[in-house]
Chain A
Amino acid sequence: GAGVSQSPSNKVTEKGKDVELRCDPISGHTALYWYRQRLGQGLEFLIYFQGNSAPDKSGLPSDRFSAERTGESVSTLTIQRTQQEDSAVYLCASSSTFSETQYFGPGTRLLVL
């Protein structure tokens, strides 16, 4: 069956531009997570959606970062006024419930010049 997909797979942008990253979770998965992973570093939690509950935004590093999810489908992560330190791989994962196995997408590699 289809796994988690993300687009674009790679994104190069100039400092100060806005970018939008997309995640398509596995159908029927109620939980969706966004993570950031800098080169050689661990996963950094950004935001978590669980069904219709208010999202857990506790990991967003600044107000330049925001994310939306419509129902239990697609999610978009938006970074406004990108900075060079935003360069990283942005990973999305979904799971059937909040505490069950997470399935990751291939990630979006973002490079801010």
Chain B
Amino acid sequence: RKEVEQDPGPFNVPEGATVAFNCTYSNSASQSFFWYRQDCRKEPKLLMSVYSSGNEDGRFTAQLNRASQYISLLIRDSKLSDSATYLCVVNRGTDKLIFGTGTRLQVFP
């Protein structure tokens, strides 16, 4: 089993749609959680950290469920510019960060 698992997609959604991605992690001692975004042929960039109580940044909402060991990312009112690969990132207990393989989102007009 991979330490961090994501549905690879692609998720194809129209502009204005709401889309949600889930990610599961295997290490119950994990403490740090992030969502990164990677555009085609570019390096990954931090989208947002994920806090225990859940957090929101504009159209983006991240949630953490420790009991079930998954995190989610919700994107409301999708824009064409949201098209990218979204990477789930979790630290391995007190060790380094582990990246999921990513979920591809394609927003169409």
Contacts and interface: CB of A to CB of B under 8 A. Distances in A.
B28 to A, nearest CB: 16
A70 interface: no
Contacts of B95: 98-99
Contact of B99 (A31, A43, A105, A107): A43
Nearest to A31: B96
B46 A101 contact: yes
Contacts, number: 51
For chain B, the bracket of interface size reads: 20 to 34
A42 interface: yes
A28 B89 CA distance: 22
Given A56-B96, A101-B49, A104-B45, A43 B32 contact: no
B34 A106 contact: no
A42 B99 contact: yes
Contacts of B87: 42-43
Contacts of B63: none
Interface string A72-113: 000000000000000000010001001111111111000000
A41 interface: yes
B98 interface: yes
Nearest to B49: A101
Interface string B41-73: 011111001000000000000000000000000
A99 B46 contact: no
B17 interface: no
B106 interface: no
Contacts of B89: 102
Which of A48, A56, A101, A107 has most chain B Cβ within 10 Å?
A101
Contacts of A42: 87, 99-102
Interface of B: 31-32, 34, 42-46, 49, 87, 89, 91, 94-102
17 contacts: A31-B96, A41-B101, A42-B87, A45-B96, A45-B98, A50-B96, A91-B43, A98-B94, A98-B95, A98-B96, A99-B32, A99-B95, A99-B96, A100-B32, A102-B46, A103-B46, A106-B42
